[in-house]
Amino acid sequence: MAFAPTGLITLATDFGSVEPYVGIVKARILQRLPVARIVDLAHELPAGRADIAGFWLARAWREFPPGTVHLAVVDPGVGTARGVMLAEAAGQVLLAPDNGLLPEALRGVGDVRWRAMDPELPARLGLAPLSRTFHGRDLFGPLAGMLAAADLPPEAVGAETEPDDPRPLPLPALEAGGVSGEVLVTDRFGNLISNIGEALLAGMHQPVVSVAGLELELRGAYGEVPQAAPVVVVNAFGLLEIALNGGRAADALGLAAGAPVRVRDGFSA
């Protein structure tokens, strides 16, 4: 599906809301498209973690209609020679620094067209010279605005390419008698989201999850165990999640990203 912009732009950054960094990016978008409709996806993404930003963008971008521009700026390499990546998928455009964010966001998605920004583009568009600490303002905001305004077709951003994926999030592994994975992120509720997708559990009759020295049966909802008890569910994104009913699993279990999670079939005929 070709990209036909609708003026809808989403923003995902690690810019927070203590400083007006996000507002300044929006100003630069509105300079190019005063009628832009801008949806904030998340602005407290972990600082500098392009991989986590990509993980969350993966769970959000498909919710939006064709014609949407998704701008994600988690950019620890700002001011260096790192490039800029654009991806087209399902009639939408995603734009981010070339640091693995978009490959993570689009992992497993078929029919993606990738483009590397021509290094001469900023000068050609009158955006140069760029600062070397805030490309959200100087480069990404203006590009997103122009893409959403149909003033810059995706193909004018740069030549097609294949993406690098320098720092992919770890994948789960099948092992004798089960699946071995790990916690990827702790969310606002202290829920521990693992990299184990429900498809890997498909053959099991009674999945038993080993985490933090506990053995837990898979449940359907947080509320199926007593208050303050740990519980494992398949969450709304299809991933195995360790939670605490009415509390914070991360604190109660002393776990964080990287903690091992194993699943075996507890069924014995």
Cα-based distances in Å from 130 to 22, 34, 125: 17, 22, 12
Residue 107 interacting with a second copy (CB under 8 A): no
Tell me the per-residue interface mask from 111 to 150 with a second copy, x by CB under 8 A, - otherwise: --------------------xxxx--xx------------
Nearer to a second copy, 76 or 166 (CB): 76
Nearer to a second copy, 48 or 83 (CB): 48
Residue 269 interacting with a second copy (CB under 8 A): no
Beta bridge partners of 173: 180
- Shortest Å distance, C-beta 265 to a second copy: 22
Q: Is 174 exposed, middle or buried (0-12, 13-18, 19+ CB in 10 A)?
A: exposed
CB 227 within 8 A of CB 246: yes
- Shortest Å distance, C-beta 9 to a second copy: 12
- For a second copy, the binding residue among 50, 69, 71, 78 (CB under 8 A) is 78
Q: Phi, psi at residue 137, to the nearest 5°?
A: -80, -45
19: CB partners within 8 A, 6+ apart: none
Taking CB under 8 A as the binding criterion, the range among 9-17, 86-94, 104-112, 148-156 that sits at the site for a second copy is: 9-17
- Shortest Å distance, C-beta 34 to a second copy: 8
Cα-based distances in Å from 72 to 4, 83, 210: 19, 14, 35
- Shortest Å distance, C-beta 6 to a second copy: 8
Which two structure tokens, joined as six digits, stand for 52?
């986590």
Taking CB under 8 A as the binding criterion, the range among 12-20, 114-122, 154-162, 196-204 that sits at the site for a second copy is: 12-20
# residues contacting a second copy (CB under 8 A): 64
Beta bridge partners of 183: 194
- Shortest Å distance, C-beta 16 to a second copy: 4
20: CB partners within 8 A, 6+ apart: none
Q: Which of residues 15-34 bind a second copy (CB under 8 A)?
A: 15-24, 26-28, 30-31, 34
Distance CA 78, CA 61 (A): 24
Tell me the per-residue interface mask from 175 to 204 with a second copy, x by CB under 8 A, - otherwise: ----------x-xxx---------------
Which two structure tokens, joined as six digits, stand for 99?
């640091």
Residue 216 interacting with a second copy (CB under 8 A): no
CB 38 within 8 A of CB 11: yes
DSSP string, 207-259: EEEEETTEEEEEESSGGGS-TT-EEEEE-TTSEEEEEETTB-HHHHHT--TT-
- For a second copy, the binding residue among 9, 45, 146, 152 (CB under 8 A) is 45
Give the binding site for a second copy (CB under 8 A).
8, 10, 12, 14-24, 26-28, 30-31, 34, 39-48, 56-57, 59-60, 63-65, 76-80, 82, 131-134, 137-138, 185, 187-189, 220-224, 233, 235-236, 241, 246, 248
